[in-house]
Chains A and B, each alone.
Chain A
Amino acid sequence: MSGVFHAAILFLVAAGLQVVFGVQKIFNLACGSFYALGAYVGVSAVQAFTSAGGPPWLFVLPLAAAGLGVGAVGVIVERGLLRFVYDRDETFQLLLTFALVLMMEDAIRLTWGTAPRSTSALYLTYGQVRILGAIVPVYNLIVIGASLAIALGIGWLLTRTVFGRIIRATADNREMAEALGVNMGRVYAKVFTLGTALGTLGGALVIPATAAMSEMGIDLIVEAFAVVVIGGLGSMRGAFVGALVVGVLRSVAISVYPELEMLLIYLIVIAVLVLRPRGLFGGAAA
């Protein structure tokens, strides 16, 4: 069950990665850094909330608000850096996001210091329940529910709204969409911000369960990377299935044979890349 919780968080980050890759064709290595940023801002927001006398049982509200709000960083990154390299080779785009990884890791250390930060003992505020013989914190269920709701929400956004239609058109054929009067700069800015906000929200939601650490970003990116490769680059359904596979396999491997934990995931990634390079759901619309 903790595997499903982990999968729910992973899905959010991977979905952010997917939406950006699907539309802008940029593999954003910095999505893990956004996740870390969300976690730190989340801790700070919750601490500010409780010290201002907010009731502990409402702590998810500032947490989620902080996670979503700090996604605004995405606009700055997209307008300030990424928009200069859309016409370049993807190597340069990849390296630019790597530059972001480096900068954000130290920016976080500079702001919050090197010691891990955590919200003290709010994790079990909502109590625990027993499901199928396992004791599960209610908070985990809330996050899993929120993640599912977001998955449905993104699906609705992409398939049922005008904005979603524009996004899918852009993903399919950028020139054509532009010729039909779509303002590419604005679409890219919005999409990248959406991707960033998903990452930061994922980071914010995970911190009641674990402490925020400055390395959490670069560790998570390789997991999110595994998720999108297994699911297929650019596919939302792929991110969903991939996150479940990685999250659940990890928790099974930890309990059965800990040495194999991440090794197993990478071996699956390689198997998928070799046998089915487009991933399980590759080729589907963003």
Chain B
Amino acid sequence: MTGRVVLALAGAAALAFPLVAPTYHTLLMLPFMAYGVVLLGLNLLFGYTGLVSFGHALFIGVGAYAGAFLTGRLGVRHLEAIVLVAGVLGALVAMPVGALCVRYVKIYFGMLTLAFGMVFYTFLLKFYRLTGGDEGMPVLRPFLLGQDLGGMPKTDYLAGPYYYYSLAVLVAAACCMWRIVHSPFGLCLKTIRDNPVKAETLGVSVTRYRWYAFVISAAYAAAGGALLGPPTGNVDPTLAYWTHSGNIVFMTLLGGFGSFFGPLLGAFVFIYLQDFVMSLVPYWRLVFGAILAAMVIFAPGGLMGLFARRRPVEVARG
């Protein structure tokens, strides 16, 4: 019950945020919401299926570059279409990649995803005629619900319509994911995570279900990636670099991968804390590395794990 109250409060706060908070903080919410979509997908794989991908930045890159290509090269400016195409493209790329990756678990799964991520990164970096190389590509301002808002000043556009658009996408994505993890399909994934042998004996095709989870999470990552481009107006290959994959796994762990909303909390804390630390010293990695090390050693359940200490929760397998 308290969970619902907290959720309602968080929702109300998100709705009222642009009205009360300074524009600067509203703009910081944009990457949070984009990463929120990404992490919902990543957590299906990490928290619910027990597979840690160190190459999910690949799909963020696919989504972000899809946005750049659609707006810049192909003249498609509707954000609905961009997010949809990004998600579909992410899923299409994930199909063959996933089919190869899900045959392995643990460290080999992580390494194989990392290798695929780096293939895409190198592709983006080296084929500069197509992708703009290390300078990346511009993302033109997308239309929202068919409205061309080109006349608006950039911050008004981002802090107003684009904010609510991202929020709507995040809420829709969260609702879908809630349905997925609470369906029989979601239960099968958890069974696979906890005991793959038993799942197989019970008639669950472990590899196939892992593949489904991989493809769905890739579609989410790509859709979230498409939302990352417009606020900065540019996409570059570092979006697909392996440290970026590491950062999103970090966000998930920070919030707590044992719970549905943990990763969202993690993304929120990560982005605001990063901004705060960078306003004090330029060495945010030093601080964040120390935080990550402390989390791994002392609080593997993440922030959600700390809050829920009193209740029996499922955290930290092994």
In the docked arrangement, what's the CA distance between A277 and B127, Å? 29
Contact yes or no, B114 A225, CB < 8 A: yes
Contact yes or no, B115 A99, CB < 8 A: no
A101 beta carbon closer than 8 Å to chain B: yes
Q: Write out the residue numbers on chain B whose beta carbons fall within 8 Å of the beta carbon of A267.
A: 119
Contact yes or no, A262 B118, CB < 8 A: yes
B235 beta carbon closer than 8 Å to chain A: no
Q: Of A92, A107, A218, A266, which one neighbours B243 at CB under 8 angstroms? A: A218
Contact yes or no, A103 B290, CB < 8 A: yes
Shortest CB–CB separation between residue A9 and chain B, in angstroms?
A: 19
Contact yes or no, B296 A225, CB < 8 A: no
Q: Of A89, A260, A266, which one neighbours B318 at CB under 8 angstroms? A: A89
Contact yes or no, B286 A96, CB < 8 A: no
In the docked arrangement, what's the CA distance between A102 and B270, Å? 14
For residue A91, which residue of chain B has the nearest CB?
B52
Contact yes or no, A266 B119, CB < 8 A: yes
A90 beta carbon closer than 8 Å to chain B: yes
B95 beta carbon closer than 8 Å to chain A: no
B178 beta carbon closer than 8 Å to chain A: no
Known: A89-B318, A90-B106, A266-B115. A95 touches B126 (CB 8 A): no
Contact yes or no, B119 A88, CB < 8 A: no
Main secondary structure of the interface of A (DSSP, over half): helix
Known: A110-B286, A261-B126, A277-B108. A95 touches B118 (CB 8 A): no
15 more contacts with CB within 8 A, not counting A103-B289, A262-B122, A266-B115, are A27-B111, A89-B317, A91-B52, A94-B107, A95-B246, A99-B290, A101-B289, A103-B285, A105-B285, A106-B285, A106-B289, A110-B283, A218-B243, A266-B122, A269-B115
Instruction: List which A244-286 residues lie within 8 A (CB) of chain B.
Output: 258-263, 266-267, 269-270, 273-274, 277
Shortest CB–CB separation between residue B269 and chain A, in angstroms?
A: 16
Interface residues on B, range: 35 or more
A81 beta carbon closer than 8 Å to chain B: yes
Shortest CB–CB separation between residue A118 and chain B, in angstroms?
A: 22
In the docked arrangement, what's the CA distance between A98 and B284, Å? 14
A157 beta carbon closer than 8 Å to chain B: no
A222 beta carbon closer than 8 Å to chain B: yes
Known: A102-B292, A110-B286. A270 touches B119 (CB 8 A): yes
Q: Write out the residue numbers on chain A whose beta carbons fall within 8 Å of the beta carbon of B246.
A: 29, 95, 98, 101
B293 beta carbon closer than 8 Å to chain A: yes
Query: Could you list which residues of chain A lie within 8 angstroms of chain B, going by C-beta atoms?
Result: 27, 29, 81, 84-85, 88-92, 94-96, 98-107, 109-110, 218, 222, 225-226, 229, 233, 258-263, 266-267, 269-270, 273-274, 277
B206 beta carbon closer than 8 Å to chain A: no
B100 beta carbon closer than 8 Å to chain A: yes
Q: Write out the residue numbers on chain B whose beta carbons fall within 8 Å of the beta carbon of A104.
A: 289
For this complex, 9 residue pairs linking A to B, each with C-beta atoms less than 8 Å apart, are A94-B107, A99-B293, A103-B286, A104-B289, A225-B115, A263-B126, A266-B118, A270-B112, A273-B108
Q: Write out the residue numbers on chain B whose beta carbons fall within 8 Å of the beta carbon of A261.
A: 122, 126
Q: Write out the residue numbers on chain B whose beta carbons fall within 8 Å of the beta carbon of A27.
A: 107, 110-111
Q: Of B100, B111, B293, which one neighbours A229 at CB under 8 angstroms? A: B111
Contact yes or no, A102 B253, CB < 8 A: no
Query: Could you list which residues of chain B lie within 8 angstroms of chain A, going by C-beta atoms?
Result: 52, 54, 100, 104, 106-108, 110-112, 114-116, 118-119, 122-123, 126-127, 242-243, 246, 249-250, 253, 282-286, 288-290, 292-293, 296-297, 300, 316-318
Q: Write out the residue numbers on chain B whose beta carbons fall within 8 Å of the beta carbon of A91.
A: 52, 106
Shortest CB–CB separation between residue B291 and chain A, in angstroms?
A: 8
Of B250, B285, B289, B292, chain A has the most CB atoms within 10 Å of the CB of B289
Shortest CB–CB separation between residue B220 and chain A, in angstroms?
A: 20
Known: A106-B286, A110-B286. A85 touches B296 (CB 8 A): yes
For residue B108, which residue of chain A has the nearest CB?
A277
In the docked arrangement, what's the CA distance between A66 and B118, Å? 32
Contact yes or no, A99 B286, CB < 8 A: no
Contact yes or no, A94 B110, CB < 8 A: yes
Known: A109-B283, A262-B122. A96 touches B296 (CB 8 A): yes
Q: Write out the residue numbers on chain A whose beta carbons fall within 8 Å of the beta carbon of B249.
A: 95, 98
Contact yes or no, A98 B112, CB < 8 A: no
Q: Write out the residue numbers on chain B whose beta carbons fall within 8 Å of the beta carbon of A89.
A: 316-318
Q: Write out the residue numbers on chain A whose beta carbons fall within 8 Å of the beta carbon of B112.
A: 270, 273-274
Of B107, B115, B283, B292, chain A has the most CB atoms within 10 Å of the CB of B115
Q: Write out the residue numbers on chain B whose beta carbons fall within 8 Å of the beta carbon of A225.
A: 111, 114-115
In the docked arrangement, what's the CA distance between A95 and B253, Å? 9
For residue B245, which residue of chain A has the nearest CB?
A98
In the docked arrangement, what's the CA distance between A27 and B246, Å? 14
Shortest CB–CB separation between residue A246 and chain B, in angstroms?
A: 13
